[in-house]
Structure formats: structure tokens, C-alpha cells
Amino acid sequence: MPPFHFRVGFGYDVHQLQAGLPFWLGGITVPHTHGALGHSDADVLIHVICDALLGAANLRDIGFHFPDTDPQYKGIDSKKLLAGVLRLLRERGYEVGNVDSTICLERPKVNPHIPAMQQTLAEVMGLDADLISIKATTTEKLGFVGRQEGVAAYATVLVYKTA
């Protein structure tokens, strides 16, 4: 085995948008008339990062570790789920190399909020904000994202074994 053992993980998630809910994205609330619907706070960006990290370490997915059938996770702050995922990875000797993510959303515009998301995620993950890439795009008014019925996100992560 080489001195460093690298692994890559991928995450994908979608959430329906509903009027009157807070819109959590990347660990912060983004001002909008609609928020994501889910069992937790429905932070789609954190959920895809969790899934990508768990996948990289072959630890299944977020629903396996934090099932939406468990009342203790009802309304939970997804930053707590991310902290739990990082604990699982670090217990197995993994550390995060970097995160690359994309949010698909017609409105609101996400770009002005990206630095705050990066800083918030960096604090939770114990990483430099420069290691967390967040991009945003629309779907050019196509599909459920284009009709503003939902939000989607993707993430790829690199992890490496330290022990």
C-alpha cells in the first residue's frame, strides 16, 4: 500500500421546496420565500457532503446512520449530522482532503452566500475554507429545479487514510 491511501466519494440529493419554511443551505439560512422540506432541516448541501464522505469510506449513506424514521433526527441541524459523519470517518483513520460541490437552484441566487457557507462548513469540518468548493447553477428553467419545485446538489470528496 502506498504511504497515503486516497479514496473518492460522491453524493447526490434533492429536496422539495415549500413556501414558508426556512431555507437551510450549507449550514446557513438563505433568505427566500421557500425552504426545503425534509425530516431534518433539509440542508441539501450538507446532506450530499455527508453522503460523499460516507461513500468514500464505504460507510453506506446518511439515511443508514441517521434514519428519517428516528424521531431524534426530526428537525435536527444538519451541521450535527455532518459532525457525526466526520467522527465516523476519523474513528476509521480518514481525513478530508477536499470537497467539491454544486447546488442546482433557479432562485434565490446562491453566489452571494457561498463565502458564509464555506466558512460555516470549514468550522464544522475542522478544515480550511479553501478546501471546500461550492458552486451554483440553474437548470435553465428545465425540470423540477427549473420549475422551482425543488433543489438538487452534488458533491465529490477526497479522503485519505492517516493511520
Q: Annotated binding residues, as ranges?
A: 13-15, 39-40, 47, 61-63, 66-70, 137-140, 144, 147
Residue numbers in the known binding site for a divalent metal cation are 13, 15, 47
Identify the CA nearest to 31 among candidates 104, 110, 106, 101: 110
Distance CA 139, CA 34 (A): 18
User: What is the DSSP track for the chain?
Assistant: --SSEEEEEEEEEEEEEEETS--EETTEE---SEEE-SSS---HHHHHHHHHHHHHTT---HHHHS-TT-GGGTT--HHHHHHHHHHHHHHTTEEEEEEEEEEE-SSS--GGGHHHHHHHHHHHHTS-GGGEEEEEE--TT-HHHHTTSEEEEEEEEEEEE--
